[in-house]
Structure 1
Amino acid sequence: MPNRESENTSTLTPEQRLTPASFDVLRACIVTISDVETVRECVAYENAHQNRKPILRRLAQRASELRAKEDGAVDLCE
């Protein structure tokens, strides 16, 4: 049985992920990113549009978390 939640979040465009005005919703959209390529797309979108430093920092943090998982490192924050 497919996981609908991950299916729905993986189909969001960078614009859909980064448009919400609420920082809490933005944070949730970033946390649900499941691959580094999507993070890169979101960084490119953010750089081209609003260039918000806190959002770019969160995206960098998410990319770091994903790379650590790919490398098999233990994430102490979870």
Structure 2
Amino acid sequence: MDAQARIGTDGGTDEDSEDAASGERILDGLPPEKLLDTNDVSRIRAGIHCMGSVETVKQYVAYENSNEQRDHILRLLQQRATELREQT
């Protein structure tokens, strides 16, 4: 990618659309039931860090809420959503 961010047709940057695409790739390759079906917090943390959109994070929150309901995982997801919101 160029050193300068380009503006996309929706007013966002090309980086925004890349982040959204990245989130979709995470969902395809590592769906919530696969990522969150472990107690290895370092692996979960790494997966959460790769999430590029709040919408993606919400899907993992919904899964965690309906299954394990682990507070520490929900906090990590909430923190990532906050980071993503602050980037915009």
TM-score by length of 2: 0.66
Query: Does 1:20 find its partner at 2:38?
Result: yes
Cα drift, residue 21 of structure 1: 2.6
Could you tell me which of 72, 76, 83 is aligned with 1:54?
72
Cα drift, residue 40 of structure 1: 0.5
Provide the aligned C-alpha RMSD in A: 1.6
Q: For structure 1, list consecutive stretches of 5 or more residues without a partner in the other structure.
A: 1-5, 71-78
Q: For structure 2, list consecutive stretches of 5 or more residues without a partner in the other structure.
A: 1-21
Per-residue CA deviations over 1:15-50 (Å, capped at 9, x if unaligned) read 122123311101101111110001110000000000
**Structure-1 residue corresponding to 2:86:** 68
Name the larger-Rg structure.
2
Distance (whole Å) between structure 2 residues aligned to residue 45 and residue 10 of structure 1: 12
Distance (whole Å) between structure 1 residues aligned to residue 49 and residue 86 of structure 2: 15
Runs of 4+ in 1 over 3 A off after TM superposition: none
C-alpha change, 1:38 and 1:8, in structure 2 (3 Å) is closer
**Structure-2 residue corresponding to 1:9:** 26
Aligned length: 65
Cα drift, residue 8 of structure 1: 4.6
